[in-house]
Amino acid sequence: MSDARTTVLAQWDRWLERSTDRLIDLDGRAPAAGTDRLDLAAAFVARKAIAARVDELRAAAGEPGEPDPAGRPVVDDGGQLVAADLPSAARLLDAIVERLEHRLDALERAEATVATALADGERDLAVAEPLARSLEQDVRRVAELRARLDGAPRDATALAPLATEAARVRAELETAAAHRDRLLGRWPALEGELVELTAREAEVRELVARCREKVRPLPVLAVPSVSALGPPEDAAELARLAWPGARARMEAYLDRVARVRRALDEVASRHRELMDRRDHLRGLLQSFRDKAGEHGVGEDAELERMFAHARELLWSAPCDVEIARGPVEAYVAAVNARVVP
130: left (phi over 0), alpha (psi -120 to 50) or beta: alpha
Helices (H), 30-69: 35-60
Alpha-carbon dihedral of residues 53, 59, 60, 64, nearest 10 degrees?
170
What integer pLDDT is reported at residue 7 of this predicted model? 84
Which stretches of the chain drop beneath a pLDDT of 70? 1-2, 33, 61-68, 341
Give the C-alpha separation, 322 to 318, whole Å: 12
What integer pLDDT is reported at residue 63 of this predicted model? 61
What integer pLDDT is reported at residue 67 of this predicted model? 61
What integer pLDDT is reported at residue 33 of this predicted model? 65
What integer pLDDT is reported at residue 27 of this predicted model? 87
The DSSP letter of residue 110 is H
Q: Are 284 and 328 within 8 A, CB to CB?
A: yes
pTM higher than the cut 0.85: no
What integer pLDDT is reported at residue 61 of this predicted model? 66
Q: Are 238 and 250 within 8 A, CB to CB?
A: yes
CA angle 219/225/227 to nearest 5° reads: 175
